[in-house]
Amino acid sequence: MTPTPELKSAQNLTSADYLAQRVKEAYQALGSENIADVESLYTTDIYFEDPSHAIQGKPSLMRYFSNQFKNLDKCSFKFHSTITNETDIFMTWTMFVNHSKLRGGETIRVEGTSYLRTRNGKIYYHRDYFDMGAMLYEHLPLIGRIIQRIKQRLGQ
């Protein structure tokens, strides 16, 4: 990964600030071509959790990501806000996903957050929070229509 000007001028950042910049760069255009950049962010004992999975260990996490990339046409993130202290990172983001079997391959937009805990310049705990319905269920033919009707009724 070639450092951007932001990373080159990272002398005054804390370790968590610097790592947050690296996360943003690695996740902006996520795919199998930059799996090594993503892998370099994590400790060997990483614990990763999102609304559908809980994964322990870097080899398992990399298998999970590799399998996800096989099914996606495109995945990218736009980061909005980042809060850090000495060891923790909290980020808000929008994920843009294209999957041929969801919404005819059109881009699906999902708002979310990540809470990262760091140790020695790497992430050992990664928890993503997002609405699984907005990402997946609402875009499935039968279930999607049911969810939309429920949402409409709740909004009345």
Helix, strand, or coil (residue 7):
helix
Within-domain flag for 153: no
Within-domain flag for 143: no
Within-domain flag for 115: yes
Q: Is the pLDDT of residue 134 over 80?
A: no
Within-domain flag for 100: yes
- Contact predicate 64/46, CB 8 Å: no
User: With pLDDT > 90 as the criterion, what percentage of the chain qualifies?
Assistant: 44
**Residue bearing the bigger pLDDT, 25 or 155:** 25
Helix (H) or strand (E) holding 117: strand 107-119
d(CA 60, CA 47): 10
**Residue bearing the bigger pLDDT, 42 or 31:** 42
Mean pLDDT calculated for residue range 95-115: 83
Within-domain flag for 150: no
Within-domain flag for 49: yes
List, for residues 72-86, the tens digit of each pLDDT value: 778 889 999 999 999
Q: Grade residue 3 by pLDDT with cuts at 50, 70 and 90.
A: low
Return the CATH number at 109.
3.10.450.50
Domain range for 89 is 5-130
According to the model, what pLDDT value does residue 107 have?
85
Within-domain flag for 60: yes
d(CA 38, CA 50): 16
Within-domain flag for 139: no
Q: What's the token pair of residue 37?
A: 């950049």
Is residue 98 exposed (0-12), middle (13-18) or buried (19+ Cβ within 10 Å)? middle
Q: Is the pLDDT of residue 43 over 90?
A: yes
Number of domains into which the chain is organized:
1
